[in-house]
Structure 1
Amino acid sequence: MKLSISLPSAPVPFALDTSFDHTPQQSHGRTISTQISTPRTLDFLISPQEVALQETLLLKQKEEKEKDLAFSLTQLLEEYHWARKQIDLLRKGISLEERKYEILETEVELGKTTRIDLVKAQNDLLQQKLSELNYVLQLLMRERNMERILGITPGSLISLEAEE
């Protein structure tokens, strides 16, 4: 007895052969063989419409990410330039505070003002210097953030500015 099943047009084509031999008083035998042809691609599992929809969705996500990245970089660049201007202004303010301190030193020596005024001027000068250091730190952090987003090595941004 032999049974053969073959479905060559199924999503995964296969063939199944089964046979059973029996000879009275001699021997019994059974043979089963299966042949499955694996497809070269899995296209039959995915509809073209679904592929097109996925592709459109991925392209839209990519565009959104590019817009977000461009916005973030623009924002960082504006903050970076603003921080540089703040540092320049603070440095000018420090120069003025140093000049004020020198004048007050002379006035204390001449007896025109008190030492308390000199200490207040020194305090103002140190506050300005501390503000400058904070802005420099913020500037460095912005530079590192831009370098990270751009995928360049730390310190490269300063090298690029020096070349210009």
Structure 2
Amino acid sequence: MTIERQAAVTFKGNPVTLLGPELKVGDKAPDFTVLANDLSPVTLDSSKGSVRIISVVPSVDTGVCDMQTRRFNEEAAKLDGVKVLTVSVDLPFAQKRWCGAAGVENVQTLSDHRDLSFGTAYGVAIKELRLLARAVFVVDRNDQIVYVEYVPEVTNHPDYEAPVLAAKKALNA
């Protein structure tokens, strides 16, 4: 049975229910299966041995999500050895179109549209909207979570500097 966390975050000021556990620093990163832009399956193991920043957004076609993905794309260009993944429930085709239009090449966009595998494993699936709540996770080379931010109001920006610092620290560990 899936854990339901009532009023865990708000969306446009309204409390929403998140499906899945609240992950914490030190937890083992849960596995998931999402789709790449070419519809191939991507799992946590697909990036095994790498430090990963996982940026979670409701939809790349909205203002804050667009800015968040562009910002992490810029950071990814400066972070040698760190993979940056952006997960949303947008269809893979829409993600591919958006990346092409935005010139985003350093971030891998991944779709959780099919079965919310990522959303329920990482506790970011919004029950009422079938979207993902805004969050950022940093996972080290050993699949340990070294940074977590569930953004309290989904329409707000995450902290951009803290996950980058956590990824740099994990690279040098």
TM class, shorter-length: under 0.3
Which structure's residues are more often helix, by fraction? 1
Identify which of structures 1 and 2 has the higher relative contact order when contacts are C-alpha pairs closer than 8 Å and 6+ apart: 2
Larger Rg: 1
Which structure's residues are more often strand, by fraction? 2
